[in-house]
Structure 1
Amino acid sequence: MPNASARPKHGRRTRRRRREDPARNELVSSSLESAQQCLFNQDYGTAFVHYLLVLNLAPMFKDFARESFRFTLFKWTEELDSVGRIQELFDCYEQALELFPADEVILNSMGEHLFRMGFRDEAAGHFHKALKLRPDYPEARENFYRVANWLVERWHFLMLNDHGRNRKYQQAIQKAVQSGCNTVLDIGTGTGILGMCAKKAGAAEVYACELSKTMYELACEVLTANKMDDSIKIVHMKSLEMEVPKDIPQKVSLVVTETVDAGLFGEGIIESLIHAWHHLLLPPQRGENEFQDQSATGRVIPAGATVFGMALESLEIRRHHRLCVSEVGSLSISAAGELRSPPGARRVHGAVHHRETQQTAGGYKALTEPFTALNIDFNNVQVQRIRLPVTQGGELDALAVWFQLHLDEDSSLSTGPEEDTCWEQAIYPVHSTKGFVLKPQDELVVEVSCRDAFLRLCSIAVLRDGHEICLDTLQDPQNTGDPVSNQTPEAELCSALACLQTDQNQTKDFCMLECSEMALLNNQEYHQSFSSALSKLISQMKVKCQNKEPGSGVQSDSADLLFVLDVSEGFSLLSLIAASHGHVKAFSSVEKVKQQEVLKRLAQSNNVPEQHLEFWLNNMEDEQGMLKRPSREKLWSAIMLDCVETCGLIRQKLMEKASLARCLLEDGGSIFPAKIVVQGILVESDTLLLESAVQGQEPTLGFNIAPFINQFTVPVHVFLDFSTLECRHLSEFVELFVLDLMESTANYTNREVKVQATSAGRVTAIPFWYQIHLDQEISVSTLSQNSHWKQAAVVLQQPLRVQAGDWVRLAVKLQKSAISISAHIENPPGPMEQ
């Protein structure tokens, strides 16, 4: 149409009396009919293309076709996801959002895909938009809460609530600025608080950088609210990528940062500062000339640190990092080879607080006195060997590490276990398969280094009776001649992951498991319970098979096999435990090649026929549905669902998966678990309050920060260790909710529970966990001492003050997979009213 872009005369009348285009109408009509036919034929890709054409040519059909378009989009993107066509998947969502930019369901669904792919910042943005469009949209709210736990980690709230830490940083910055450091760069600004301290202290120019998109946008909001958005320039990038004058116009005289983790170096503070000294900072002060112009020299806050350590015995650490059992669910696992957790430090809050209670969960016993491991000024790389007298006998499980952060020559912060601090301690686990027992006359030799900008604890040896015994526990599994200290944590992880795919002859006895997976293997009660429940079911199903009428079907051994499906995430032995009972073909969800090899070796050593164990995810491209078995003759005898995440939450879409699983069971078959009972307790815990939101009405150091960071407050606290949580119990344990996976008619979405307070106090949270019933008689608890699961807790927005004897009414709701709880005091009977 050559004149299509020309402006017609009498434009308004033309728009009101727009002429029909018969050819266009015919195309729209035929495409709409084709879309519906393709949808009926389950040809979702072609149907999606037809719908795009119709809705672009005829927007008036949007309301009519919205539901069908959504359904087509979701089905087509599921297919694209299953075959790894990720770019096409996101292209489809982009095209859908061009048509329906305010569709909260499409926004939420795209956010779910982004989150699964690891794009957490982008996912949070989509969930947030969906909630703005529809604040009562439960799926988007649940997703936003889950992603918020990743994006704004709970330590942000702890740090802002740590008034002593905040004041010390403010005083050190004020002192440096007043001494002449008038140009400042805040590396990893977070909420922007340190940069604002510098500006408030009188710095002429303040710059800041932040890598996280979510935290960058939050910091921008905070600066605007505090009227500093024009005086502090913040850039969304990593400091290692910053250049002068491209990103900041000049080198600065002061860098402030708090990019430290529990082990001090894990967030790359040394690498950042080395780059800053070379590219972003003025040269350091030379000599002791106190009259030297400070504005012409560079300095850093913090100026340095002292690292401390201690050798520990801890069953809790051991079971997360070493295999402690020889039998799992009646399976001998001697053929499994060496199983390890990933190398590197782990955070453990108050690790040494519990050293006197080593017999309880979370208990630790000190094997040496605390020692000074390293003094560092963030410029000087050091390596030293330390000899530590062993003060108490015990099995060496880990080295605990904490530090004292020197802000300047007068002020410091300690992360020690005896301090009331927002920081945790770091644990360097010992990965030996068999623990080494230290004796009080021994000396422990540890090489401590700060090589490659990260703290290394390696080359552990023991001096005993004049002889040095090399433990070799922290060496690189790929090259036992070179210590792990030669690699960065990223390189360590890559090496570990490479072990899963390399030649079997090189790494046949080594396999990397997550800490939670290692703890799972060590959970004997869990595996024995599953073994017993499976044994009962298999016996019942065998009897049923034997009682079949002659001629009712093929009687070959192959046809009479029972089929069991395990859909656990990560490493799982449940399928092999099922296959070991005989007369069973089990399908495993284990995906990694190296881990599959471990299962195959275990199957062979436990006399499980090779053909009785299959890895069903290897054949996903041939399957139409996740829970469908590649056999047309028989249904599943048992389906094992992975119901609870390690963090303490019910897995998303659990009830939908259970509904599908019930349809795939043969008569008499069972889902494991059959039922989940949610249990909880009323507690008073200031710790949970401090980890959940910035507390109090007072501005933080005079800055308005709380309303912005508190947008990321989530009602459910995850990865909670109830055995070590600082809290007061205000009630007995109570049943909160029941999820019946076998009987859909028994389920509900709302329940009211009355709980009587046993002590006076403030109800600040309701921790909860699960009693997982495999059948009517056998169950396991996620609260048990050897559980590989953590717990979770609903934190109340407003604490509820109770007296002993008060009744508290809890309104418990389960929306999809998210549990929410509200609480209020039950009105007492009339005569007791005051």
Structure 2
Amino acid sequence: MKTFCGRANPTTGALDWIEESEEYDYHQEIARSCYADMLHDRDRNEKYYQGIRAAVGRVKARGERVVVLDIGTGTGLLSMMAITAGADYCYAIEVFKPMAEAADCIVKKNGFSDKIKVINKHSTKVTVGPDGDMQERANILVTELFDTELIGEGALPSYEHAHLHLVQDACEAVPHRATVYAQLVESEQLWSWTQMGPVQVEGRTLLPPAQLGQCAGAPSVCDIQLSQVSPGAFTRLGPLCTMFSVDFSRRVSSAPQSHSCRFVVHTSGRAQVILSWWDLDMDPSGTIVCSMAPSWTYSDPRSYPWRDHWMQSVYFLPAERNVCEGEELTLTVSHDDYSLWYNLSDGQQTGEEETSCQPCICQAHLVWTRTRFGELNDRQRRATYLRALRGILQPDSVCLAVSDGSLLPIFAHLLGAQKVFSLENSGMSKRVIEQFLDANSLQNKVRLLDVRPEQLSTAHLDGQQISVLMGEPYFSTSLLPWHCLFFWYCRTALNRLLCPGASVMPASATLHLLGVEFKDLWRIRAPCGTCEGFDVSVMDEMVQNSLDFRESREAEPHPLWEYPCRALTKPHPVMTFDFQQCVPEQPIISEGSVPLTRRGRCHGVVLWMEYNLTDDITVSMGLTQPVSEEGECVWCPHRKQGVYFFRDMWESSGDGQAAVSYSLTFDPSIGDIKMDFSASPSRVAVMETVH
């Protein structure tokens, strides 16, 4: 069955009506899921297998029939492990219908259909009894309900219900317990993701609004690959604290709770950020441990088990404070059903800690992402924009800024422009910039307009035309690099208001391409094949069908500063967009090839934009330094890059004989880029599997 869905186009700004099958969301969920990453996580799989075997052994030693309940079975892998370990029967629960169907198929394919029952329900809807989903209560509870924050997928309510209704009182649990750790640090880099610092412009200091500094920030966790944050980027102010543990073999409460740890400050500094992760003990003795600790905690970082489905967490204190060596402090973590939050105090736990996470009160944390905060705090980036503005502004300039929540219009005023206007896409974004203007007594110097570009007239501009049109460009709706071409569509809509010879900044944008070998990221799209001896190739078929669901595959947005890779080609410009001109009616087509000049396995290509602010000033949203001799890449941490994964990886001998051939078509009517890649003159396809 086909339906028409209305979706806001991030590039053109229009509302597109797209004909889609009712199965489209299912296909996209499967294609973009982390199932491949989990199946390729050998450390996770081995630790679960060891824990399950040990639990089955303990139940059998008591002379009991082994009945397993697997909540969140996914592919059914853990259920098959349980039967292989000697369990008599297993109930595998999966709420997501396509995955439940896949699990059922995988279970049958591996010959376990007589001992594993797949139940397509949420675990809290499962019943036990002669007419129920389960004939009896289980005596082993196996779960994989965790996210980076441990409890964010509703683990606590699910465990609470399972112990009350689905498992025996003295059940075994795999994992047996989870322990959450936290460490207080000072970090200018991480703190810049949640607070704005003072901004120096032409001898004047712009101060952030007081309300922003008093705000607890975004309520959601900041989950990142903490292994990619250098230990030199933060200072440990205290020891690693054990905050709390959850015993999954006993009744678990989902009620809000707080836990505190008293510690002595090791190093004086500014208390700003909490780094946090957790461990899973797969057995009661704690001898089988699956740890989420970052690589720099390992004596040998090479032994670090990379995974992307579970990462580490960064929490920001409501306000920074100075702490002194030898000072005693109390770190408190609180949680509800789904979230954690931290507070730092001088005294012991009072029992009056916040029982709910405090919402953002300044709205800036709702408008700007954490990487956007980092971008606005980037002094080098700011200096580049100021240098470009100085080159195009005149004392009689009438400026119009088109970006979301940008400080460029304030900069333009301070640099001497006669009049400055700014188009804001949302009322919330407009209010955030108003706070900046109020905090610096600039209310009457920059006029904020909340109209769409096509609705703007000279009446909004005091009867004048625009002599300088500027943007960063940054838009909150952008995911892929070319989505920021929304600036180009705005420029086209405003063409009638530009005076002859008007300056447009950026003047143009160039899309670049680079063939790469990923250190680890390739795993999220690699074929599964077999996992721990079980055939899970059904997942490969499902993902392949999902990727074929539309006529062409798509690039994915990824923050590549978190995912190391090696360049196998030279960076190559593939398409230019001239903002001096209006968006053309005809497609822009680019075809060519890029030689593979380094030895390695080419997993795909990276695509990013470089904005030519003026003829001689460029800012890159991709590579920020030249590629090293070894092919190491340094990526812009403020924007996500586009990654197009090849279905098969390509072997490169590095002699330049083989190349990545590309065919790209930018369709102005939809603001998207259709892309196709092939190996030229030949390639070796190797199916990559971990197991």
What TM-score do the two structures reach when normalised by structure 2?
Answer: 0.76
What is aligned with 2:271?
396
- Give 1:277 shift: 0.9
- Aligned counterparts, 1:621-700, within 5 A: 627-631=454-458, 637=467, 638=469, 640=471, 642=474, 647-651=479-483, 654=486, 657=489, 660-661=492-493, 663-666=495-498, 667-695=500-528
Mapping for residues 296-311 of structure 1, pairs under 5 Å:
298-311=171-184
Q: Separation in 2 of the partners of 1:372 and 1:194?
A: 29
Secondary structure of the residue aligned to 2:142 is strand
Alignment of 1:142-291 (within 5 A): 148=28, 153=32, 155-177=34-56, 179=60, 180=64, 182-201=66-85, 203=87, 205-212=89-96, 215-216=99-100, 218-219=102-103, 222-223=106-107, 232-244=116-128, 248-250=133-135, 251-282=137-168, 284-285=169-170
**Whole-angstrom distance in 2 between the partners of 1:223 and 1:206:** 11
- Partner residue, 2:550: none
Pairwise CA distance, 1:300: 2.5
Residue in 2 that maps onto 1:52? none
In the other structure, the counterpart of 2:650 is 800
8 A Cα contact 1:428 1:457, kept in partner: no
Q: Is the 8 A contact 1:326 1:332 kept in 2?
A: yes
Higher relative CO (CA 8 A, sep ≥ 6), structure 1 or 2?
2
- Separation (CA, whole Å) in 2 of partners of 1:631 and 1:129: 47
User: Structure 2: which amino acid aligns with 1:734?
Assistant: H
In the alignment, residue 515 of structure 1 is paired with which amino acid?
Answer: R
CA distance in 1, matches of 2:263, 2:163: 35
Q: How does 1:66-85 map to 2 (within 5 A)?
A: none
**Letter matched to residue 429 of structure 1:** Y
Q: CA 1:605–1:407 in 2, change beyond 3 Å: closer, same or farther?
A: closer
Q: 1:221 to 1:564 in 2, by over 3 A?
A: farther
- The Cα of 1:819 is off from its aligned counterpart by 6.3
C-alpha distance in 2, partners of 1:204/1:315? Answer: 55
The Cα shift of 1:380 comes to 6.2
How far does residue 162 in structure 1 lie from its aligned partner after superposition? 1.5
The CA deviation at 1:259 is 1.0
Q: Counterparts of 2:235 and 2:680 in 1: how far apart (Å)?
A: 43
Q: Hey, what's the Cα distance between the residues in 1 that align with 2:132 and 2:447?
A: 57
In 1, the alpha carbon distance for the partners of 2:88 and 2:80 equals: 12
Spell out, residue by residue over 1:681-738, the C-alpha distance to the aligned partner (whole angstroms, 9 max, x if none). Answer: 333224121122335566863444432453356763422233x533334344333432
Determine helix, strand or coil for the equivalent of 2:481: coil
Q: Once the 2 structures are TM-superposed, how far is the Cα of residue 342 of structure 1 from its aligned partner?
A: 0.8
Summarize deviations over 1:720-764 as a string: whole Å, max 9, x none: 233x5333343443334323233356983223143451x422222
- Aligned pair in 2 of structure 1 residues 129, 702: CA closer, same or farther (>3 Å)? closer
Amino acid at match of 1:366: R
Whole-angstrom CA distance in 1 between matches of 2:56 and 2:484: 50
Across the aligned residues of Structure 1 and Structure 2, the Cα RMSD in angstroms comes to 4.4
5+ residue gaps, structure 1: 1-100, 117-122, 131-143, 286-297, 462-467, 476-480, 502-508, 544-561, 618-624, 828-834
Separation (CA, whole Å) in 1 of partners of 2:261 and 2:465: 62
Per the alignment, do residues 273 and 702 of structure 1 end up closer, same or farther by CA in structure 2, a change over 3 Å counting?
Answer: same
How far has the Cα of 1:425 moved from its partner?
Answer: 4.0
Q: Deviations over 1:754-813 (max 9, x none)?
A: 3451x4222223333321122323322224477521333332333222234425343151
- Distance in 1, Cα, partners of 2:234 & 2:98: 37
The structural deviation recorded for 1:304 is 0.7
Change (3 A) 1:653 1:230: farther
CA deviation vs aligned residue, 1:165-189 (integer Å, no higher than 9, x gap): 2233234334545634643332222
Contact kept, 8 Å, 2:610 with 2:621, in 1: the verdict is: yes
CA drift of 1:664 comes to 4.1
**Equivalences for 1:35-114 in 2 at 5 Å?**
107=3, 110=5, 112=7
Select 1:460's aligned residue among 344, 358, 363.
344
Task: Supply the AA of the counterpart residue of 1:338.
Answer: L
**2:289 maps to 1:412:** yes
Quick one: structure 1 residues 269 and 643, their matched pair in 2 at CA, closer, same or farther if it must change by over 3 Å? closer
- Deviation for aligned residue 1:268: 2.4
One-letter amino acid of the structure 2 residue matched with residue 754 of structure 1: V
Aligned-pair CA distance for 1:235:
4.5
1:813 aligns with 2:664: yes
Pick closer, same or farther for the CA change 1:797–1:603 going to 2, 3 Å: same
Structure 2 residue 414 is the aligned partner of structure 1 residue 591: no
**8 Å Cα contact 2:261/2:332 also seen in 1:** yes
**DSSP-derived class of the 2:564 partner:** coil
1:321 is paired with a residue of what secondary structure? coil
Distance (whole Å) between structure 1 residues aligned to residue 369 and residue 22 of structure 2: 31
Counterpart contact for 1:694–1:710, Cα < 8 Å? no
**CA 1:604/1:324 → structure 2, altered by over 3 Å: closer, same or farther?**
closer
Residue in structure 1 matching 2:540, options 695, 699, 707: 707
Q: Specify the SS of the correspondent of 1:539.
A: coil
Question: 8 Å contact 2:55–2:173 — kept in the other structure?
Answer: no
TM-score relative to the length of structure 1:
0.64
Q: Work out whether 1:316 is the aligned partner of 2:189.
A: yes
1:373 aligned partner, one-letter code: M
Bigger strand fraction: 2
Larger radius of gyration: 1
| Distance in 2, Cα, partners of 1:183 & 1:316 | 50
1:332 alignment partner in structure 2 = 206
Structure 2 runs not aligned, ≥5 long: 12-16, 299-303, 548-552, 625-634, 683-691
* SS of the residue 1:682 aligns to: strand
Cα distance in structure 2, aligned partners of 1:602 and 1:115: 26
Give aligned pairs, total: 621
* Partner deviation per Cα, 1:648-676 (whole Å, 9 max, x = no partner): 53218749826743644423335543321
Question: Are the counterparts in 1 of residues 512 and 610 from structure 2 also a CA contact under 8 Å?
Answer: yes
* Counterpart for residue 748 of structure 1: 588
| 1:248 partner amino acid | D
Q: Distance in 1 between matches of 2:269 and 2:33?
A: 34
Select which of 554, 557, 576 maps to 1:718: 557
